[in-house]
Amino acid sequence: MTKLPFTGKFKVTCEYGRKGTVWKSGIHGGTDLVGIDSDKVYSISNGVVERAGYDKGGFGNYVRIKEDGTENRIYLAHLSKIYVKVGQRVTYTTVVGLMGSTGNSTGKHTHVEIREFKNGQAVRKLNASNYMRIPNKVGEYNSKDYQIKTESRPEYKPELKTLARKTNLRNKPTTQGSTAVLYIPNTTLYVLEKGVANADGYTWDKVRIRTNGKEGYMINKNYK
Ligand SMILES: [Zn+2]
């Protein structure tokens, strides 16, 4: 296995951090890769799809994945086709779409970008080449040279909790304008992600109700 979106041969066509006026921030926030042997774009981590659609800001058709075990968000951009849906769990072997040239792109490639999040907000862009464990250097490479050990991958370890009181499961991490479903004390749930947002005076966790598998957001102080 690798942490790359392509199998077989691929090229790095633009490094993370390259300076240039074509980018609003003045630097290239991700790494551009071109798959040579295949257009299939794989997830580069285990996680959950948080966004899947068209971005007018430049990404074109893109997928955003929340990495298991970290606050990192992975963006795979300029896709010609998207094969996954929001909420879907993905692994390193999930094909999320096909390489394309949608959005701010001059030729077929996949822009890989990693953003570190804190409290639901992006705080910085990480070096995507380091993340994928490839040289941050324009050139042609082969994925077989960048295999990683499976045990080094972040694991998905949800925490089991019990409700202390009547609590709403909400579809957004806020009391404002979110759909609410009431759950009673002693309902068990898994905390999938802690501290996803601070809103309305509360810290929110992303949770999954154990009995019915429903996912949503709860205020973090309501567990036993
Ligand atoms: Zn790019």
Write out the DSSP string of 92-139: TT-EEEE-B--SS-SSSBEEEEEEEEETTEEEEEE-HHHHHTS-SSSE
β-strand pairing of 40-42 with 95-98: antiparallel
- The alpha carbon of 120 and the centre of ligand 1 are apart by a number of angstroms equal to 23
Domain 159-222 sits in CATH 2.30.30:
yes
Through-space distance between the first and last CA atoms of the chain, rounded to whole angstroms: 39
- The alpha carbon of 111 and the centre of ligand 1 are apart by a number of angstroms equal to 4
Q: Is the pTM of this model over 0.95?
A: no
What is the tens place of the pLDDT at every residue in 167-203? 999 999 999 999 999 999 999 999 987 777 888 999 8
Question: What is the DSSP secondary structure assignment for residue 44, as one 8-state letter?
Answer: S
Domain limits of the chain? 9-152, 159-222
Domain 9-152 sits in CATH 2.70.70.10:
yes
What CA–CA distances, in Å, run from 125 to 24, 75, 112, 163? 14, 11, 11, 36
How far apart CA 168 and CA 72 sit, in angstroms, is 27
The pLDDT score that the predictor gives to residue 200 is 92
What is the tens place of the pLDDT at every residue in 25-71? 889 999 999 999 999 999 999 999 999 999 999 999 999 999 998 99
How far apart CA 25 and CA 10 sit, in angstroms, is 27
- The alpha carbon of 214 and the centre of ligand 1 are apart by a number of angstroms equal to 36
- The alpha carbon of 110 and the centre of ligand 1 are apart by a number of angstroms equal to 7
- The alpha carbon of 114 and the centre of ligand 1 are apart by a number of angstroms equal to 12
The pLDDT score that the predictor gives to residue 198 is 83
- The alpha carbon of 62 and the centre of ligand 1 are apart by a number of angstroms equal to 12
pLDDT, greater one: 3 or 198: 3
- The alpha carbon of 67 and the centre of ligand 1 are apart by a number of angstroms equal to 20
- The alpha carbon of 138 and the centre of ligand 1 are apart by a number of angstroms equal to 12
- The alpha carbon of 14 and the centre of ligand 1 are apart by a number of angstroms equal to 7
- The alpha carbon of 49 and the centre of ligand 1 are apart by a number of angstroms equal to 20
What is the tens place of the pLDDT at every residue in 200-212? 999 899 999 999 9
How far apart CA 181 and CA 152 sit, in angstroms, is 38
What is the tens place of the pLDDT at every residue in 101-155? 999 999 999 999 999 999 889 999 999 999 999 999 999 999 999 988 754 444 4
